[in-house]
Amino acid sequence: MSQLDTLKSELLAAIEGAGTEAALEEIRVSALGKKGSISEQMKTLGKMSPEGRKTMGPALNALKSDVTDAIAARKTVLEESALEARLQSETVDVTLPLRASPVETGRIHPVSQVIDELTAIFADMGFSVAEGPDIETDELNFTALNFPEGHPAREMHDTFFFNPKEDGERLLLRTHTSPVQIRTMRSQQPPTRVIIPGRTYRCDSDQTHTPMFHQVEGLVIDKGSHFGHLKWILEEFCKAFFEVDNIKMRFRPSFFPFTEPSMEVDIQCDRSGGEVKIGEGSDWLEILGCGMVHPNVIRNCGLDPDEYQGFAWGMGIDRIAMLKYGMPDLRDFFDADVRWVQHYGFRPLDLPTLFGGLSS
């Protein structure tokens, strides 16, 4: 047997015995690579006599093509058996339950849900939604709202102030959404009917207070708006929001610099069963503050208090969310724990509407 015949039978045996595509590749490189056994033989052709080259040339080319074909054939076999093995091991169980789509696994945060609910209820009564910046001026947050110079809210320990600017003006994080109402009154002619939901900030932190929280305020300005309108709006709101047919409400005299007279509002509830049930029983729960807009505030917005009057109210969104949906600790709202949102959150496609059911 010639040297080439030996090389050929060795290579074909090795190709036949290659168990993986990687092993096959190794054999290909060892035979046909730059320094492979066949390539080395090819290099000797140049130094041969013409007769020697005449017999060795075709013999080497035949060997090269036989080995190339054998490798290709073995490769096909190995690929097919690898595919067969995958098909055997990776079976698809068509009886498994469907995995929920991303739209189904995401959840709406309770604060966003409650803002959507509020908006649906007040939109039905003809209110539009206004928004404004979180960073405000002292003038819009306090002065225009009839806060006197030495009012405690103007102190560093109650409000987040920025460092004073060169001209001495101190910006601040709004402590309520009322500056947006000032902006609204200054920019549009009455009749005005707006609600303003949004983030608000105060230096305060415990189980029921977080430095950032959410408020919704409402404002009505017109020539004949009176306290009776306010009471009706708030009663309709409470019934719709807490999804009860009837609810007793109690208006207690109070004080805010920006309203006169001012009231705090309690709603009927029952605490006997361990949890708070709204619209039943003989206990009271404070939920909001309200009043007739102070004439000074109307004047500060460029309107004549002898021509226009109105009313306003404000309540904590996080607080009414806790009451309606039974979350015990306000701090959980802002911990960004996905498990909490999964537990208390709302399905993204269930938009609150008055006809479709607010929270169902």
Q: Which residues bind ligand 2NL (CB under 6 A)?
A: 145, 178, 181-182, 215, 217, 219, 256, 258-259, 288-291, 293, 297, 312-316
Q: How far is the CB of 308 from ligand 2NL (least distance, A)?
A: 12
CA 145/CA 131 separation, integer angstroms = 17
Q: Coil, strand, or helix at residue 259?
A: strand
Rounded Cα gap, residues 27 and 14, in angstroms: 7
The residue at minimum Cβ distance from ligand 2NL is 314
142 vs 344 by CB, closer to ligand 2NL: 142
**Residue number, 312 or 330, with CB nearest to ligand 2NL:** 312
Cβ of residue 178: shortest distance to ligand 2NL, in angstroms?
4
Q: Specify the DSSP class assigned to residue 346.
A: B
Q: How far is the CB of 339 from ligand 2NL (least distance, A)?
A: 29
The CB density around residue 200, as the number of other CB atoms within 10 Å, is: 21
- Minimum distance of ligand 2NL from residue 255's CB (angstroms): 10
Helices (H), the chain: 3-17, 21-32, 37-44, 50-89, 102-105, 110-124, 138-141, 178-187, 227-242, 295-300, 317-325, 338-344
Write the CA distances from 180 to 177, 187, 198, 200, 334, integer angstroms. Answer: 6, 10, 10, 12, 24
Q: Which is nearer to ligand 2NL, 36 or 316 (CB)?
A: 316
Closest to ligand 2NL by CB, 36 vs 197, is 197
Of the pair 314, 352, the CB lying nearest ligand 2NL is at: 314
Point out which residues pair with 353 in neighbouring strands: 357
Query: Measured from the CB atom, is 113 or 192 closer to ligand 2NL?
Result: 192
Q: Closest approach of Cβ 316 to ligand 2NL, in Å? A: 5
Max Cα–Cα distance, the chain, nearest Å: 124
Task: Identify the residue whose tokens are 């960073």.
Answer: 135
Residue position matching structure tokens 């009860």: 244
Least Å distance, CB 111 to ligand 2NL, is 15
